[in-house]
Structure 1
Amino acid sequence: MPEWFEVVLRSLLFLTVLFATTKLLGKRQLSQLSFFEYVVGITIGSIGGELVTGVEKNIMHGLLGLAVFAAIPFLVGFISLKNKAFRDFMEGRGVVFIKNGKIMEDNLKKERYTIDELMELLRKKDVFQVSDVEFAVLEAAGDLSILLKKENQPLTPKDLNLQVPSIKEPQTVIMDGKILDEPLSTINQSRNWLNTELDKLGVTIENVFLGQVDSYGQLTVDLFDDKIEVPPPTEMPLLLATMKKCQADLELFALGTERKEAKSMYSKNSEKLQKVIDKVEHILKG
């Protein structure tokens, strides 16, 4: 067998084995690696290079070495699940860099970080002043996790005592000018509904590069032709305007009647509708 042909076969075999090994090790191997996983990854790559190009060597020995290094993370992971001390040793622990707005200089030196590197990590989190930080910890994977002080945290609907509906993930119902039936059925809509929504926007299905429906049932589209302007959805603003008109009409009715019962009814319903408007106005303005 020619050497070049053997190298091709070894390459195909190694790629197949490496793909299967990576699938078994899981997605974590593709994201943040611990120190140990980093060493294992380099070693597996070295074994793979020798396995492919070292035609004079026994291929089974290479596969055996690859199998050993692929099996080690399984064993380490199993022990780590059972023993926290072992897990901390193998994967590392988080180190506090900032506490109560104060930089922990000793921990910086211990992890061999300079103040410039710390400030760079803070800027990546959109933080430019150390005193704004309540707590910051360098995770084992090298990321900096930050907790801002309460007065520097952005407002949330909970802080304002607002009740907001849960938001579901948007469904892609059109892709490359083709309708996707499964996402449509997920939101309990049909092709007829989709075509009606497209007619409202004044576009054809063939010209839609991407179409998505948000959790409120609104369709937004991106067209192949970037020069065409797509009007924004008007259903929600129109609904808000209608609700405000009804509330104003109720107030007028209350002022225009002399009957106490009718005046009370109109006033109460006007107040109820105003409360509803206050709760949903930020959504309908969307």
Structure 2
Amino acid sequence: MADWLDVIFRAILFLIVLFIITKILGKKQISQLSMFEYVTGITIGNIGAEVVTGLEQEIHLGIIALVTTAAIPFLSGLITMKSKKMRNMIDGKGTIFIQDGKIMEDNLKKERYTIDEFLELLRKKNVFDISEVQYAVLEAAGDLNVLLKKEYRPLTPKDLHMKVASDKQPQVVIMDGEILLEPLATMGRSRQWLHTELRKLGVTVENVFIGQVNSFGEVTVDLYDDLLQVASPQERPLLYATMKKCQADLELFALGTDNESAKQMYTDNSIKLQNAIDRVAHILKS
């Protein structure tokens, strides 16, 4: 076999082998690497490159070396799942840089970080004032996680004692003008239902670049033609407005009648409807 054909064959073969090994090792191997996994990844890459270009090397020996090297982090992963001591030794553990608002200078020196490098990490977390930080830790994978002091954290609906509707993952039901049946089936919806919702928006499937169904069952679309404007779903606002109108009408009926039993009936039902509105307003108005 010609050398150039041999190199092509080896490259394809080892690409497949490396892909299989990576799938076995899992997503962790390609996301946040520990120091041990980082060293293992470099070693596997070097072995693959050496065997692909080194025509004097035996292919089966290279595959054995790859599998052996890959088996080490696989086995260590099983061990670290069972033992925290081994996990700390192999994967490492986080280093606290700020504790209760105080910078831990010794820990910065231990990890060989200058104050400029530390400030850069904070800026990547959108923190420009150290005095706002309550706690900061450098994780074993090298990421800095920051907890702001309570007065500097963003407000949440819970802080304001507000009720908000729970969200579910939106489902993409149209992509490139084609209906995706699997997401529709997951939500218990049909193709006919989707066409009905699109007619309400005044669009056809062929004009839709991407279409989603949100947690409230409303269809939102983005069209190929960016100049066309599509109205937002109005079912929830209309329902809220209708309920408010009915409640106001009941109050007017109570004020407009001299019959005491009718007045009491209208008043009671007005209060019940207002209570119902209060319970669902955070859903209908969101």
| Residue 133 of structure 1: aligned partner | 133
| Residue 197 of structure 1: aligned partner | 197
Q: Which one is further off, 219-228 or 99-108? A: 99-108
Q: Which one is further off, 20-29 or 145-154? A: 145-154
Contact kept, 8 Å, 2:7 with 2:52, in 1: the verdict is: yes
SS in 2 for 1:203: coil
| Residue 257 of structure 1: aligned partner | 257
Q: Which one is further off, 192-201 or 260-269? A: 260-269
Q: Which one is further off, 271-280 or 51-60? A: 271-280
Corresponding letter in the other structure for 1:20: I
Alignment RMSD: 1.8
SS in 1 for 2:275: helix
Gap runs ≥5 in structure 1: none
Instruction: Give the Cα separation in 2 of the matches to 1:252 and 1:238.
Output: 21
Q: Which one is further off, 250-259 or 24-33? A: 250-259
| Residue 32 of structure 1: aligned partner | 32
Contact kept, 8 Å, 1:79 with 1:86, in 2: the verdict is: yes
Once the two structures are superposed, what CA deviation does each residue of 1:180-208 show, in whole Å capped at 9, x if it has no partner?
12211222222222111111111111100
Percent identity between matched residues is: 64
| Residue 13 of structure 1: aligned partner | 13
Corresponding letter in the other structure for 1:109: K
Gap runs ≥5 in structure 2: none
Question: What is the Cα deviation at residue 171 of structure 1?
Answer: 1.1
Contact kept, 8 Å, 2:164 with 2:282, in 1: the verdict is: no
Corresponding letter in the other structure for 1:159: D
Instruction: Give the Cα separation in 1 of the matches to 2:137 and 2:197.
Output: 49
SS in 2 for 1:137: strand
| Residue 284 of structure 2: aligned partner | 284
SS in 1 for 2:222: strand
SS in 2 for 1:227: coil
SS in 2 for 1:147: strand
SS in 2 for 1:5: helix
| Residue 211 of structure 1: aligned partner | 211
Once the two structures are superposed, what CA deviation does each residue of 1:27-78 show, in whole Å capped at 9, x if it has no partner?
1111010001111111111100111111112222222211210111122112
Q: 1:214 to 1:26 in 2, by over 3 A?
A: same
Corresponding letter in the other structure for 1:34: S
| Residue 124 of structure 2: aligned partner | 124
Q: Which one is further off, 192-201 or 76-85? A: 76-85
Contact kept, 8 Å, 1:162 with 1:279, in 2: the verdict is: no
Q: Tell me the TM-score normalized by structure 2.
A: 0.93
Corresponding letter in the other structure for 1:230: V
| Residue 274 of structure 2: aligned partner | 274
Q: Which one is further off, 189-198 or 273-282? A: 273-282
| Residue 240 of structure 2: aligned partner | 240
Instruction: Give the Cα separation in 2 of the matches to 1:171 and 1:276.
Output: 29
1:86 partnered with 2:86:
yes
Contact kept, 8 Å, 1:175 with 1:208, in 2: the verdict is: yes
Number of residue pairs matched?
Answer: 286
